[in-house]
Structure 1
Amino acid sequence: MKIPLRTWSYRTAVFLSLAFVVAPLVAVVWVSVFSNKVISFPPLGYTFHWYVNAWELVDFREGFWLSFQVAIAATFLGLLVGVPASLALARANFPGKAVINTLLLSPMMVPAIVAGSGVYIYFIQIELLSGIQLVATLPGLIIAHVVIVIPWVVRLVTTSLLSANENIEEAAQNLGATPLTTFWRITLPIARPGLVAGGLFSFIVSFTDLEKSLFLVGPGRTTLPIAILNYLEWNLDPTVAAVATVQIFIIGFALIVSDRYVKLSNAF
């Protein structure tokens, strides 16, 4: 059977697009097992030594743990703030709704380095006016990361709520369900794909953030992106590729497990 030109062109475009996205990931995983002490092609051999080397470096271990803590805290707080905001934007009509929606999504529009320096200056002003130190503290770093994860939560949860049939919630209340019961048993399950997707993307954005951490991390502390940047300043071996490969598999595993129980495609 002859394949139409349009179908063939469409399949080719899809394949090239996927290859464009996946090829860099495959390259990173491949480089992580090179035996070369300096990354170069072709490889002289293959080894898992660089994974062991990454684990033995204190900066990578402590950086991973700090990034993980900050990402978990920022994701949790981002959900606490973003879910009520999404519910209001999706279900209520009030003056200034468009302005608030733009304000909540604005951190996605600001260049990362500009946002990092802006948060740093803002925290300095707070310290000058109130004496409360946020720069170079863990709470300050978490607050900065909450700011960058809120847009993801608001955008994805709001999309899930808007794509659902609002009449289901009205029917539940007409049958005697209280607003709280309706929220827990109807609204939250409807928004679950958006909640999971928002939480996952929030964790990823916070965990991989460099700019806010670079301005706000305290002395003697380092996040994983900063540890990678510092290592690359003096080394060109595949250790960083090994660290990146671990990140790729962790994030990929989380996405696969989440999609197994919650279809993330329903959140978009």
Structure 2
Amino acid sequence: MPELPEVETVRRTLLPLVVGKTIERVNVLWEKIVQHPEVETFCERLKGQTIYDIQRRGKFLIFQLDNVALVSHLRMEGRYIYEKEDTPFDRHTHVFFTFTDRTELRYRDVRKFGTMHLFDKGKELHVPPLSNIGLEPLDEQFTVSWLSDQLQRTERTIKATLLDQTIVAGLGNIYVDEVLFRSSISPERVATTLTVQEIEALHKAIIQTIQEAIEKGGSTVRTYVNTQGKTGTFQTQLYVYGRANMPCRRCGTPIIKTTVANRGTHYCQHCQT
């Protein structure tokens, strides 16, 4: 699933392609992608709307138009593609935003797990799904004291806590494993057991890892590519994720893969305690 760095990269590559474009019509071939409102209303309300900006909140893209906001989640394999209107498409392409200049923004999703919500402009942050998510690592309010307060409220493992989008928005399995390695914390530790020094190290690792991943265009571990079809490169710098049985880059101990919080989890038994 694309995480914060990948979604931010999609946002940045989409901006120069579609900002200023006016939607002439919308066609939805797989209606379950549109969660709100009903598909007919969704298509009708987008007609004649011009895209002025694309924002991001956690793993969500927010298309800002004249008087509506389109909230989109890519889920596992969702992808936006920009093409000329008459360019052929495959059976995995499910939503078409046709612009007045005869170009199209297409949403392709092999698994069909992606979602779209359309709201009156200004309301999108105050209703689900965006109202349910917590701070993200790049927010000014994401401080050591705030993170410490959140960790003291739960008896879950630190891995499960960081995966909870209502606490820290944008982190997924890849980056949680990476920040826990960088901060030398075992994913199986209970969140309330972390010391002040460990929380400070974790806070720093979260911000640095996300910033570095954004600079590298995200991580392409399986199928992720940006709007221009380019892969990310941060996967070449991963310390533990996807490196089961390979030597730890710090100490040489084989990386362990286990299950924590019902997710495949990679860590170094020697470096993380």
TM range (shorter): under 0.3
The structure number with the bigger radius of gyration is 1
Q: Which has the higher helix share?
A: 1
Q: Which has the higher strand share?
A: 2
Q: How does the TM-score come out when normalised to structure 1? A: 0.21
RCO greater where, 1 or 2, for CA within 8 Å and sep 6 or more? 1
Q: How does the TM-score come out when normalised to structure 2? A: 0.20
